[in-house]
Amino acid sequence: MSDTKFEAADRPVMLEIRNLITSFGPPERPLVAVDRLSLKLRQGEILGLVGESGSGKSITLRSILGLIRPRGRVSGEILWKGRDLVPLSERALGDIRGKEIAMIFQEPMTSLNPLLPVGIQITENLAAHTDLDAASRRREAITLLDRVGIPGAAARLGDFPHEFSGGMRQRVMIAIALASRPALLLADEPTTALDVTIQDQILRLLQSLAGEFGMSVILVTHDMGVVAACCDNVAVMYGGRLCEIGSTDTVIERPAHPYTEGLLHSIPRGGAPRTPLYSIPGLPSGLADRPAACAFASRCPAATQLCRETLPLPTEVAAGRMLACHHPRRTAEELRHG
């Protein structure tokens, strides 16, 4: 968690998503990847978007920036500083991408251009979104590499991506994303495949930068341990829908949705040798066979016929706490009073 506790009441809402639907395939038989998602993100907030692979987390980030076009379709509202991004043209979105909203993609080795030195890849962003001249762009690129913790930054501007370790490549990606000082950073599993020491360094770096620049962050991950380490709030996603939203402390200490509870039980803990790790039974449904009712019902220990027939609607059960479940582990009264 960040050192300064996020105070929702005194920071403006930067991003508000209302009933976002992202679908693919023919309109008459759409494959819905994100289904009626709504959330708010305030200035300086780090929001963890968590769930298993295929839950719609990465598609949500790409939908915000319009990166699922032309094959995907987006409806609903994505209000960035009050301006709806959904109807904007590619040209209008291009003025926002990288400048106001930046993204760190999941795998830096495939996101970085292997044929260009990292210095050029950073200065390209600066050339597109700032008025700096060539000499100033080079100085800023050195500053950025130094800021994200790459030793000998000036000497490494001419190095290619393959000359960096996995952790250092991820730092380069962060430097590129931060080049134009964005107000919102979308981080798609930035610590995937990194060892725990480097993972901790990257998470601490994101926390530090969010605090330094007043930058909002949406951090996509499947790891509740990562969320606990650095996020102010957490949104739990399953089957393209949001299950539960709340402050990280309260959701981890008092999970209300059975899926959230299952994710927390899946975190490895100390125990007797050879003790089997817990995993949620069953597998997530694919896009083509998601039920119209609760998507988690087939795997949920608390499911009833109501869950299999009726979609649970998102309901605000306490200030800043949303839940979509017919049979929550805790009552609304317990959630309101902690």
Q: In the block, which residue shows the tokens 């800043």?
A: 320
Residue 299's closest CA among 32, 52, 3, 27?
A: 52
Length of the chain equals 338
**Please, are residues 132 and 141 in contact by the beta-carbon 8 Å criterion?**
no
Tokens of 256: 């209300």
**Please, are residues 47 and 16 in contact by the beta-carbon 8 Å criterion?**
no
| Separation CA 74–CA 182 (nearest Å) | 23
| Separation CA 180–CA 155 (nearest Å) | 22
Residue 42's closest CA among 308, 231, 171, 203?
A: 231
Task: Tell me what pLDDT residue 51 has.
Answer: 93
Torsion, Cα 135 141 146 148, to 10 degrees, reads 160
208 backbone φψ class: left, alpha, beta (φ>0; ψ -120 to 50): alpha
Task: Tell me what pLDDT residue 40 has.
Answer: 95
163 backbone φψ class: left, alpha, beta (φ>0; ψ -120 to 50): alpha
Spans of all domains in the chain: 1-100+182-267, 113-181
Please report the DSSP string for 33-72 in residue order.
Answer: EEEEEEEEEETT-EEEEE-STTSSHHHHHHHHTTTTTTTS
**Alpha helix segments (H runs only) across 112-240:** 118-129, 134-147, 153-156, 166-178, 196-213, 224-230
Task: Tell me what pLDDT residue 225 has.
Answer: 83
Residue 245, SS3 per DSSP: strand
Tokens of 132: 């700096």
Residue 120, SS3 per DSSP: helix
Tokens of 13: 């809402």
Task: Tell me what pLDDT residue 332 has.
Answer: 60
Tokens of 82: 């009050």
| Separation CA 156–CA 183 (nearest Å) | 27
Task: Tell me what pLDDT residue 338 has.
Answer: 59
Return the CATH number of the domain spanning residue range 1-100+182-267.
3.40.50.300
Rounded to a whole number of angstroms, the distance between the first and last alpha carbons of the chain is 19
Average confidence (pLDDT) per 10 residues, the chain, 338 residues? 50 95 93 95 95 93 92 95 95 91 83 93 91 94 91 95 90 89 92 78 85 91 87 96 95 93 85 81 89 94 94 90 90 62
Q: Which residues contact 4 (CB under 8 A, 6 or more apart)?
A: 211
